[in-house]
């Protein structure tokens, strides 16, 4: 019988002969080939999540665009995969924008977010022909107006509104409350609408909000939708503003551990679409486009992190630490957010837990702990720890702390493994140093 933890792994995961396989690939063999730490992405899981969000939303609301939120993880390979699935992309920096462009991603499907876009980033966005700029504040609105004035075509924009709704998630990932660095406060947003509507160089096509992540309940979205649609109706009366696009953001939850399952895409689609239709009421000549931005919910389950076991420290009556060859340098989420994970021993995947250990990293911080007090089969040096649901935010937030190279990233396909990003070398870290 397969281990129940497989429900957290990619959809192609299975256990055979006491070993963990994903997309038909033996994890132990991949470690021998690519080394550790190693991040794997399962193509089948990525594509199924793209199609699930696309189909669940568009079946209920045909005028819907699904954008992949690139901050969860991006690179040339993923950008091309997402483009092939007919999704757009939400980027938050010039770097993410440049990666999308280099990958050949259609610029008209890109929405450029961010609370402090630099002038050079805005210049780049307009030069590349980005589809929408999501304006976050008055400073940006003024800069964008000046930059757009030197161009012929109007630049389409959305305004980001802070609706003052608490999604009851971690304080570091809550973005839609009043006390947040993001977006126009409701009592100043009307002024921003007026300025945008008066601009001869910008075209205000819609409103956006984002509440935070991960959000397990649909009610915060529904509350914010009511508030922002009421605001849009007021702007229509005051400025003849027409809401052509409406974005409630993303932040949809994923299941990191067995004890907290996340809702399926259909739950969010039904809740958001029903609230949008109720809020718009009857008599609209044309429904606005609905823009949703799942990132974590597309890539998280598709990703698996692999580590090799090294040192062991037993403190009688207190705790046993087992160290691995990665940690907060490639996944800072446990140290930063207190994020919880579960794990399998990839080369002992059928064995029963017989000890409880804390899996710690190799970095020079006491807080470098990946999983605390996990029941697991007995571990010895060289065993392979597989941590599921590692596809979101781990690699984008990775660092060279302690001058450690960042890990390789591999896509697992039906045809075999494909290297998406090679492992960094010591020379890469030193390359930017000036004598």
Q: pLDDT-derived band of residue 170, with 50, 70 and 90 as boundaries?
A: very low
Task: Determine the pLDDT at residue 168.
Answer: 59
Return the minimum-mean-pLDDT range out of 1-5, 103-107, 275-279, 368-372: 1-5
Q: pLDDT-derived band of residue 286, with 50, 70 and 90 as boundaries?
A: confident
What token pair was written down for 344? Answer: 């399998």
Residue 173, pLDDT > 60, answer no
For residues 207 and 243, the answer to whether their CB atoms sit within 8 Å is: yes
What distance, in Å, lies between the first and last C-alpha atoms of the chain? 59
Task: Determine the pLDDT at residue 324.
Answer: 98
Is 50 in the active site?
no
For residues 9 and 301, the answer to whether their CB atoms sit within 8 Å is: yes
For residues 131 and 155, the answer to whether their CB atoms sit within 8 Å is: no
Residue 175, pLDDT > 60, answer no
3-state secondary structure of 252: strand
Q: How far apart are CA 145 and CA 137, in angstroms?
A: 12
Q: How far apart are CA 196 and CA 206, in angstroms?
A: 11
The number of residues in the chain equals: 435
- Sign of the C-alpha dihedral, residues 318, 322, 328, 332? negative
Please name the helix (run of DSSP H) or strand (run of DSSP E) that holds residue 15, with its range, or none.
strand 14-16
User: Three-class SS string for 109-176?
Assistant: HEEECCCCCCHHHHHHHHHHCCCEEEECCHHHHHHHHHHHCCCCCCEEEEEEEECCCCCCCCHHHECC
Which of the following is catalytic: 364, 403, 431, 432?
Answer: 364
Name every residue whose Cβ is closer than 8 Å to that of residue 290 and which is 6 or more positions away in sequence: 57, 61, 63, 64, 65, 246, 247, 248, 272, 273, 276
Q: How far apart are CA 271 and CA 203, in angstroms?
A: 30
Residue 171, pLDDT > 80, answer no
Category of 305 on φ-ψ map: left (φ > 0), alpha (ψ -120 to 50) or beta: beta
Q: How far apart are CA 216 and CA 263, in angstroms?
A: 7
E strands present in 174-273: 184-185, 202-208, 245-250
pLDDT tens, 117-138? Answer: 999 999 999 999 999 999 999 9
Mean pLDDT across the chain: 94
Category of 178 on φ-ψ map: left (φ > 0), alpha (ψ -120 to 50) or beta: alpha
Report phi then psi at 47, rounded to 5: -70, -35
What token pair was written down for 27? Answer: 């994890």
Residue 92, pLDDT > 60, answer yes
For residues 91 and 134, the answer to whether their CB atoms sit within 8 Å is: no
Residue 54, pLDDT > 90, answer yes
Distances (CA, A) of 321 to 302, 311, 371, 379: 28, 8, 10, 11
Average confidence (pLDDT) over 85-102? 97
Residue 44, pLDDT > 90, answer yes
Average confidence (pLDDT) over 285-313? 96
3-state secondary structure of 79: helix
Q: pLDDT-derived band of residue 172, with 50, 70 and 90 as boundaries?
A: very low
Residue 322, pLDDT > 90, answer yes
Residue 174, pLDDT > 60, answer no
Residue with tokens 């959809």: 11
Residue 109, pLDDT > 90, answer yes
Name every residue whose Cβ is closer than 8 Å to that of residue 38 and which is 6 or more positions away in sequence: 30, 31, 305, 306, 407, 408, 410
Q: Which of 384, 386, 297, 370 is nearest to 336 (CA)?
A: 370
3-state secondary structure of 59: helix
Angle (CA) 414-416-418 rounded to 5° is: 115
Top pLDDT among 281 and 214 is at 214
Average confidence (pLDDT) over 164-190? 71
Top pLDDT among 166 and 34 is at 34
Q: What percentage of residues in the chain have a pLDDT greater than 90?
A: 90
Q: What percentage of residues in the chain have a pLDDT greater than 70?
A: 95
Residue with tokens 């007026």: 194
């Amino acid at each position: 019988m397969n281990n129940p933890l497989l429900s957290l792994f990619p959809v192609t995961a299975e256990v055979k002969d006491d070993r963990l396989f994903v997309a038909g690939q033996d994890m132990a063999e991949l470690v021998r080939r690519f080394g550790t730490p190693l991040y794997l992405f399962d193509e089948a899981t990525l594509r199924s999540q793209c199609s699930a969000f696309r189909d669940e939303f568009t079946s209920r609301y045909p005028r819907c665009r699904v954008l992949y939120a690139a901050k969860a993880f991006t690179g040339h390979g993923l950008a091309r995969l997402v483009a092939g699935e007919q999704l757009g992309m939400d980027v938050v920096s010039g770097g993410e924008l440049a990666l999308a462009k280099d990958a050949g991603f259609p610029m008209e499907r890109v929405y450029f977010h961010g609370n402090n876009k630099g002038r050079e980033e805005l210049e780049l966005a307009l030069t590349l022909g980005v589809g929408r700029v999501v304006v976050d504040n008055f400073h940006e609105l003024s800069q964008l107006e000046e930059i757009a004035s030197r161009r012929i075509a109007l630049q389409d924009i959305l305004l980001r509104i802070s609706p003052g709704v608490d999604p009851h998630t971690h304080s570091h990932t809550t973005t839609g409350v009043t006390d947040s660095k993001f977006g126009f406060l409701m009592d100043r947003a009307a002024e921003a609408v007026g300025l945008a509507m008066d601009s001869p160089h910008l075209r205000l096509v819609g409103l956006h909000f984002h509440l935070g992540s991960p959000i397990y309940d649909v009610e915060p979205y529904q509350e914010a939708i009511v508030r922002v649609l009421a605001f849009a109706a007021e702007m229509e009366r005051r400025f003849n503003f027409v809401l052509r696009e409406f974005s409630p953001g993303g932040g949809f939850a994923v299941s990191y551990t067995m004890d907290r399952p996340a809702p399926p895409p259909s739950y969010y689609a039904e809740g958001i679409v029903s609230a949008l239709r109720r809020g718009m009421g009857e008599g609209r000549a044309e429904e606005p486009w609905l823009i949703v931005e799942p990132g974590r919910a597309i890539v998280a389950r598709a990703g698996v992190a692999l580590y090799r076991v090294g040192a062991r420290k037993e403190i009688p009556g207190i705790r046993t630490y087992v160290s691995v060859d990665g940690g907060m340098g490639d996944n800072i989420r446990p140290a930063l957010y207190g994020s919880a994970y579960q794990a399998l021993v990839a080369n002992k995947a059928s064995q029963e837990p017989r000890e409880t250990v804390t899996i710690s990293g190799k970095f020079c911080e006491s807080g470098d702990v990946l999983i605390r007090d996990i029941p697991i089969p007995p571990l010895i040096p060289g065993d392979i720890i597989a941590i599921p649901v590692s596809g979101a935010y781990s690699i984008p937030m990775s660092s060279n702390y302690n001058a450690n190279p960042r890990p390789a990233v591999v896509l697992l396909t039906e045809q075999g493994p494909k290297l998406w990003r090679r492992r960094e070398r010591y020379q890469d870290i030193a390359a930017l140093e000036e004598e």
